[in-house]
Structure 1
């Protein structure tokens, strides 16, 4: 969730103009050879209108142009752009927030990589084979893949990760259908079996995992490939792992860099892993530090950082000609959305329990709130076209399955008023009542950030007020925000509506976000039809790509109709990279890895 800022005076003037204009119209898991540029054909489909000051993702390449000659060694500073500290759950098996992923990516990785089409390859730390019936995956870990403490990464380490996540004591967010689909996992989780029968260690470096059914998702992210070091965690209580010093203070992985020091929530210093299986990194050292969105431009221009995880796109227009960087860009595997709380999480049974009597339970109310906001103008005016109107819950980062012909719900506040009238939400003075005549007051939370965060949330509140809805806004910092919407399994009853963002996985299957057994199903939406469509998307018939496309088109329309959430903006990720940096690319399947990262000078280039 990246936040940006405008100069405050200019921004609030723009915001006022924006609101007046809208009123006049009617009233926010990871790779092969050679760097690649953006695929134009896949991106023009969602390209915003060609207006002055409005940009398109088509304007960018995703691989850095190399200049000069790489020096031996050297170091860089990486900026994690955030208005809040990273939580510090630094293990793939336990983390939940995107900032922690940005810390993890430098020192750990999965056993398998994938290509630009999100299909597993045999170029990673392990190779794989599938059985003839497609139900069994056999992974063979390379002999030279070792943990940072020198111990080999073994098949037992991967088995241990499955056992940990499947344990009743596990307190992380991973246990969902991708694990319950493993043969024997249900029995292990219930405590009626001591082992997971579908997982077999075949040797020190070889393991097989058998699934109940063969699904197309198994080839595109459906196999969990992040081992957990058994020699470190093996004797530890599962319930205490995520808060242990081995996760928070002295984490290890088998990636290109080792963690040297951590200043909790603020910075991490990494040193090269000489024993990295792809080959020792070219850089000696990497420093990661959290940078507030309000200071990111200053840090980049001064050379205080060499690159950042993502540049606030609202600031791009004023800094597009920054002289000491090259801007890279790609369609983000993410979208922002408005979510409606429709139930709770049943922690004991690990599933969503929807409540038909929830305050936001009427889909007419939810649809009206979607109709009331003009996200096309939000993308252009707040983000200069580098975020744009979202229509469905499968983003264009997955062009094969994103339904570009589905328009979503159009901006039409007059139609929204009419829909509310017909649904019985009567206007009594300035605001509407519930159909039973009781006052309707909606509590809305959104995340803090740069200068845009609160005014954008206020825009939504004003848009809803324009159709007669009284909505109370509360701004909440990142970590507290996700605790309140249900990241820990506890849903804050005082939250009715929230604005958030999802980074989606490489696999198109949306079950991990909207399945009945998904902790990340924060709206707590469930239905038999949703169950049916999600199951069909990973069924045997879905091996036919056209059939899978048909199923997910139907699911996308179903979610447009039901509106448990509505997408607001698709996103470009824009990354400025100092001109001294070499061998760097963003996006999936580029074939450019962090051990190749290099610099052509000891110090960062400073802006002129």
Structure 2
């Protein structure tokens, strides 16, 4: 079976390379780009035995360093170039309240930061730009900003700037995706959000504007890892509370898109939209002088990232896991890596987002109203072969929607579907989906044609083969699936369609980078706009509420609640997790003070440096 699956994937990759070469319309010789997927896949097929050995070894004994080994004296005014590895332009919505894409988040980390720091377990500490105190009943937190914490234009960061972030997030006109549980849980926020008042009763600011007190309706352990502590510079972006501007005007303004400010270690000096950002040292940074004089962050395609690292065009860049074997041969870099705070999944469209009610609404006429169809499609997916053959063991089958990094809450014993085509066929038969006309594909219980439109993102050499492989998996059990519009879609347009509940989309392949709080309600809650499958149930509501309740301060109680929730989602299958993954970072050997270790100072850009 493994031989057959590998050959299928190899053939798909070879077909893809020819397709891209024919349709790209680019002068590959002139641009210096390789034809995506051509040489690596040919070599992989020819040296299969050797690569299989390496894949098996890596999947059972993966051990990457988390910090660079270079401990030389750094250059006083060094410069660094960082690659943003993507095949699509970044959107450029550079504010925590409004952004939605991972690439914009990557830009934000250099010039913007949270007032409260966190430790290696992602729990808030008093080591940041502000200190906090929690009341005995754990319902009220008081945050005091340190002296000397200033915005990039020299104005002090004020407690009222943090209040302003809450006023934006909870405003009736806010259409972003971050009006989540911890925002809703602030006393008076529901009334403010409904437009019944212009004040948030649970938030007060001291007379000197250095201290803010936030009171919550319910005590919740999520406060310690998920509190919103990103202020917004009211004086700079404009004040919606006075009618000076509107939320829509702020989000589309140059003060967000082209000239954003923060209080982080670097200032935004220049943006080439969608392509690059030049950061210059913030001499007034509250922690002290950042090590580097400047950082250039630029888009690098997945096809050219290894060549860019090899040539030294970039000092730091993520390495696509499908290119790991080639990356190991680059002499001037070190490869760092660990299990990622992320997973990939197949989502089933079960309803729509109701903009008026601000909640997800299930559609009883969805093609996936019968959960046995969703379960069958999960059983049909061969995720193990995907991880082993395309990613050299650096991705492996996912089981739960709470990732293994959260060791206390991830249910390693959860029984979930694994590759079993016969089980998939039996479930479909049971649900009444049978092949009526003998064409090899099943009709629905009413005898109607059952065809699914599959939306998936472009990017990297493996995107097309993976989509084709899953479609073949489903075809093997009699389900006809076709790519939406006959092709993959670019990152931004893909998520625009998924978020807008494009009627043509039946299933989609997405990925989540998860937050530091294990609470999954921000992605799977009834009122979460990020809940792209639109799944809701009373049991889901009950368990998600319990997981953030005052009782959940008891870790054993919270662990049991999330165990029940994981079992519920494995049974209902609004989304089917496909693979967990290792992330890899290529770092030039001239880089010092760089770490991927959570909680390490060297994981923060202000400490990064380069040597001679």
Whole-angstrom distance in 2 between the partners of 1:6 and 1:421: 41
Report how far residue 9 of structure 1 moved.
5.5
Whole-angstrom distance in 1 between the partners of 2:218 and 2:576: 31
Report how far residue 67 of structure 1 moved.
3.5
Question: Residues 431-510 of structure 1 correspond to what in structure 2 (within 5 A)?
Answer: 431-474=441-484, 475-486=488-499, 490-510=500-520
Name the SS of the counterpart of 2:540 in structure 1. Answer: helix
Report how far residue 117 of structure 1 moved.
1.4
Name the SS of the counterpart of 2:601 in structure 1. Answer: coil
Given that 1:70 and 1:582 are in contact with CA atoms closer than 8 Å, whether structure 2 keeps it comes out as yes
- Superimposed CA distance per residue, residues 496-527 of structure 1 (whole angstroms, 9 cap, x where no aligned partner): 10001000000000000000010000000000
Equivalence for 1:127: 131
Equivalence for 1:594: 605
Given that 1:53 and 1:384 are in contact with CA atoms closer than 8 Å, whether structure 2 keeps it comes out as no
Report how far residue 540 of structure 1 moved.
1.7
1:370 matches 2:378: yes
- Superimposed CA distance per residue, residues 280-306 of structure 1 (whole angstroms, 9 cap, x where no aligned partner): 111101000000000001000000000
Equivalence for 2:140: 136
TM-score (norm 1): 0.90
Report how far residue 408 of structure 1 moved.
2.0
Question: Residues 41-52 of structure 1 correspond to what in structure 2 (within 5 A)?
Answer: 52=56
Report how far residue 385 of structure 1 moved.
1.2
Equivalence for 1:86: 90
Equivalence for 1:582: 592
Question: Residues 193-204 of structure 1 correspond to what in structure 2 (within 5 A)?
Answer: 193-202=197-206, 203-204=208-209
Given that 2:56 and 2:393 are in contact with CA atoms closer than 8 Å, whether structure 1 keeps it comes out as no
Distance 1:50 1:534, change over 3 A: farther
- Superimposed CA distance per residue, residues 146-194 of structure 1 (whole angstroms, 9 cap, x where no aligned partner): 1000001100000011001111221321112221111000111111111
Name the SS of the counterpart of 2:410 in structure 1. Answer: coil
1:11 matches 2:41: yes
Equivalence for 1:271: 280
Question: Residues 86-125 of structure 1 correspond to what in structure 2 (within 5 A)?
Answer: 86-125=90-129
- Superimposed CA distance per residue, residues 130-159 of structure 1 (whole angstroms, 9 cap, x where no aligned partner): 111000011011111110000011000000
Equivalence for 2:24: none
Name the SS of the counterpart of 2:456 in structure 1. Answer: strand
Given that 1:114 and 1:589 are in contact with CA atoms closer than 8 Å, whether structure 2 keeps it comes out as yes
Report how far residue 466 of structure 1 moved.
0.4
Name the SS of the counterpart of 2:252 in structure 1. Answer: coil
Report how far residue 54 of structure 1 moved.
3.2
Whole-angstrom distance in 2 between the partners of 1:160 and 1:206: 14
Whole-angstrom distance in 1 between the partners of 2:78 and 2:426: 63
Given that 2:348 and 2:508 are in contact with CA atoms closer than 8 Å, whether structure 1 keeps it comes out as yes
Equivalence for 1:212: 217
Residue among 549, 557, 572 paired with 1:562: 572
Whole-angstrom distance in 2 between the partners of 1:452 and 1:14: 13
Equivalence for 2:63: 59
Given that 1:168 and 1:189 are in contact with CA atoms closer than 8 Å, whether structure 2 keeps it comes out as yes
The unaligned stretches of length 5 or more in structure 2 are 1-16, 18-34
Distance 1:336 1:57, change over 3 A: farther
Name the SS of the counterpart of 1:547 in structure 2. Answer: helix
Question: Residues 145-164 of structure 1 correspond to what in structure 2 (within 5 A)?
Answer: 145-164=149-168
Report how far residue 103 of structure 1 moved.
0.8
Given that 1:146 and 1:153 are in contact with CA atoms closer than 8 Å, whether structure 2 keeps it comes out as yes
Equivalence for 2:418: 410
Given that 1:80 and 1:290 are in contact with CA atoms closer than 8 Å, whether structure 2 keeps it comes out as yes
The unaligned stretches of length 5 or more in structure 1 are 19-47, 602-608
Report how far residue 334 of structure 1 moved.
0.5
Distance 1:98 1:49, change over 3 A: farther
Distance 1:10 1:576, change over 3 A: closer
Given that 1:57 and 1:329 are in contact with CA atoms closer than 8 Å, whether structure 2 keeps it comes out as no
1:551 matches 2:570: no
Name the SS of the counterpart of 1:345 in structure 2. Answer: strand
Equivalence for 1:329: 337
Given that 2:172 and 2:192 are in contact with CA atoms closer than 8 Å, whether structure 1 keeps it comes out as no
Equivalence for 1:292: 301
Whole-angstrom distance in 1 between the partners of 2:56 and 2:221: 43
1:185 matches 2:189: yes
Higher relative contact order (CA 8 A, sep 6+): 1
Given that 1:6 and 1:452 are in contact with CA atoms closer than 8 Å, whether structure 2 keeps it comes out as no
Given that 1:67 and 1:579 are in contact with CA atoms closer than 8 Å, whether structure 2 keeps it comes out as no
Report how far residue 116 of structure 1 moved.
1.3
Name the SS of the counterpart of 1:242 in structure 2. Answer: helix
TM-score (norm 2): 0.89
Residue among 352, 361, 384 paired with 1:353: 361
Paired residues in the alignment total 564
Whole-angstrom distance in 2 between the partners of 1:409 and 1:396: 17
- Superimposed CA distance per residue, residues 19-61 of structure 1 (whole angstroms, 9 cap, x where no aligned partner): xxxxxxxxxxxxxxxxxxxxxxxxxxxxx99854634684112
Report how far residue 119 of structure 1 moved.
1.0
Whole-angstrom distance in 2 between the partners of 1:136 and 1:331: 34
Equivalence for 1:395: 403
Residue among 232, 236, 258 paired with 1:228: 232
Whole-angstrom distance in 2 between the partners of 1:76 and 1:57: 32
Equivalence for 2:269: 260
Equivalence for 1:240: 249
Whole-angstrom distance in 2 between the partners of 1:16 and 1:356: 50
